[in-house]
Structure 1
Amino acid sequence: MTNFDIEPLRGKLIVSCQAPDRSPLRDAGIIAAIAEAAVIAGAAAVRVNSAAHVAAVRNRVDVPIIGLEKVIDATGAQWITPTVDDARALMDAGADIVALDATLRARPGTPGSDALIPAVREFGAAVMADIDSFEAGQNAGALGAEIVGTTLSGYTSSPPDRFGPPDIDLVRALAHLASPVVAEGRIKTPDEVAEAFEAGAFAVVVGTSITEPMALTRRFLAATPALTKGSLS
């Protein structure tokens, strides 16, 4: 079982250092530089997608790394580290914590969270259970996940709500469980970070609004006359 101490992350900011498909930033060296910049600025930990990127970041920073393997299936559904082999590769690359998909969705061909979380903890990984509902968080905590994260709230609903406000109500509900809750997903402002902590978050993860310049550029472009008038050419 894991000996990783999550207590130093209490009350801290974690920065997710990822880049979407087809982004020019989706390069291990660039992600490592982004992660190093976040740590220099004060991030207590970083969250990184793929074993290759985890290994590159591990060479640049000494703060805890939350590693994940983001998988998009044939239907377009997103899964976070859906197999034990994925988790082991992240650990071997230098991750201190492995983020796992702990939603209660049916997942043909890969283990559900009831099997996945104990199996990954068995080989020594600390687990961040990425969930989308109170029931999923409650289940992940009962399975021994060291951290429960609200990462997938809004991403698994039908239709998805990926651009709305953060799910502070879910943070507040999960704050009463034994496993610490990390607020993640759709957090765009310092005020929302403060709101998450006030709701009982153990730590807060911010990604896109810090490390994704393409999304930030689109946000500012939306306020330009060319776009507001529909005349951008």
Structure 2
Amino acid sequence: MKKQELFDVIKGNVIVSCQALPDEPLYVEEKSIMYLMARAAKQAGTPAIRTNSVRDVVAIKEETGLPIIGLIKANYDNSDVYITPTMKEVDQLVEVNTDIIALDCTFSKRLNDTSINTFIREIKEKYPDIVLMADISTYEEGVNAYKCGVDLVGTTMNGYTEQSIDANITNLELVSKLSKEISIPVIAEGRIHYPNQVREMLDAGAFAVVVGGAITRPLEIAKRFIDAAKGELK
């Protein structure tokens, strides 16, 4: 599917993030079960899936036939970024025909102190037709990624980096500000727990909305209900 076709499919919709990390209840080492979550998301009407790891990209594409926003979470010493942090992960995602590749485009410390601008340039030189989604945490990072030539900007990392905590801007505010400044799709993602928040994000200018934990992480969902019973819900 070409870039414009992808954009036409996801515009105004909810993209479901189906991920499970090794320390989470739905992670099965022998065989991923995330394709079942993706099956449910497809039946609910999502036009695309966001997922982590080569095995889940492959399994979910096979199960659903939907376009995939793929990433690989990898930790490296002396690096604060972990979402598709190096060319190694980009290569792996390209190899399995990932439709959109998401990567950390924050100003956080990278391996070998490589700048995000340099990394984006190297990716585009190697894969000229690649569709890149920049996961950012601040307005400045979003504008920078846009100027570097990414295809979509997502607010995924807002509130998870030191610079975004210092900036003290909500995802809704960030979506609104970026959508007025840049001419590529702004994807709202992060701490979207309720349906009304989806509508708020779209009304604020989001091109599409990614929802993950509120749909596909039963531990987080159950804990919110249990915390509410204890009077601890914030």
Report the TM range for the smaller structure's normalisation. Answer: 0.7 to 0.9
Asked if the contact 1:66–1:95 (Cα under 8 Å) also holds between the matched residues in 2, the reply is yes
Structure 2 letter corresponding to 1:223: A
Q: What does the per-residue CA deviation read over 1:158-211, in whole Å, with 9 as the maximum and x for residues that have no partner?
A: 7969xx995100000110201210000011111110000011000000000000
Q: 1:132 aligned to 2:137?
A: yes
Q: Cα 1:73–1:88, aligned 2, differ >3 Å: closer, same or farther?
A: closer
Where in structure 2 are the equivalents of 1:189-200 lying within 5 Å? 189-200=194-205
Q: Cα 1:158–1:143, aligned 2, differ >3 Å: closer, same or farther?
A: closer
Runs (4 or more) in structure 1 with deviation over 3 Å come to 72-78, 158-161
Rounded Cα–Cα distance in structure 2 between residues aligned with 1:211 and 1:94 = 24
Q: Cα 1:143–1:158, aligned 2, differ >3 Å: closer, same or farther?
A: closer
Q: Give the number of the structure whose residues are more often helix, by fraction.
A: 2
Match of 2:111 in 1: 108
Identity rate, percent: 38
Report how many residues are paired.
224
Please tell me the root mean square deviation across aligned C-alpha atoms, in Å.
Answer: 2.4
Structure 1 letter corresponding to 2:26: L
Match of 1:83 in 2: 86
* Structure 2 residue ranges without an equivalent (≥5): none
Where in structure 2 are the equivalents of 1:1-233 lying within 5 Å? 3-5=2-4, 6-27=7-28, 28-74=31-77, 77-109=80-112, 111-122=114-125, 123=127, 124-157=129-162, 167-176=171-180, 177-224=182-229, 227-228=230-231
Rounded Cα–Cα distance in structure 1 between residues aligned with 2:79 and 2:87 = 21
* 121-130 or 178-187, which deviates more: 121-130
Q: Cα 1:166–1:52, aligned 2, differ >3 Å: closer, same or farther?
A: farther
Question: Cα offset for 1:21?
Answer: 2.8
Q: Cα 1:180–1:52, aligned 2, differ >3 Å: closer, same or farther?
A: same
Rounded Cα–Cα distance in structure 2 between residues aligned with 1:165 and 1:39 = 32
Residue 109 of structure 1 aligns to a residue whose secondary structure is: helix
* 45-54 or 202-211, which deviates more: 45-54
TM-score with structure 2 length normalisation?
0.87
Rounded Cα–Cα distance in structure 2 between residues aligned with 1:166 and 1:20 = 26
Asked if the contact 2:142–2:153 (Cα under 8 Å) also holds between the matched residues in 1, the reply is yes
Residue 132 of structure 2 aligns to a residue whose secondary structure is: strand
Residue 209 of structure 1 aligns to a residue whose secondary structure is: helix
Question: Cα offset for 1:136?
Answer: 0.5
Structure 2 letter corresponding to 1:99: A
Residue 27 of structure 2 aligns to a residue whose secondary structure is: coil
Structure 2 letter corresponding to 1:167: N
Residue 204 of structure 1 aligns to a residue whose secondary structure is: strand
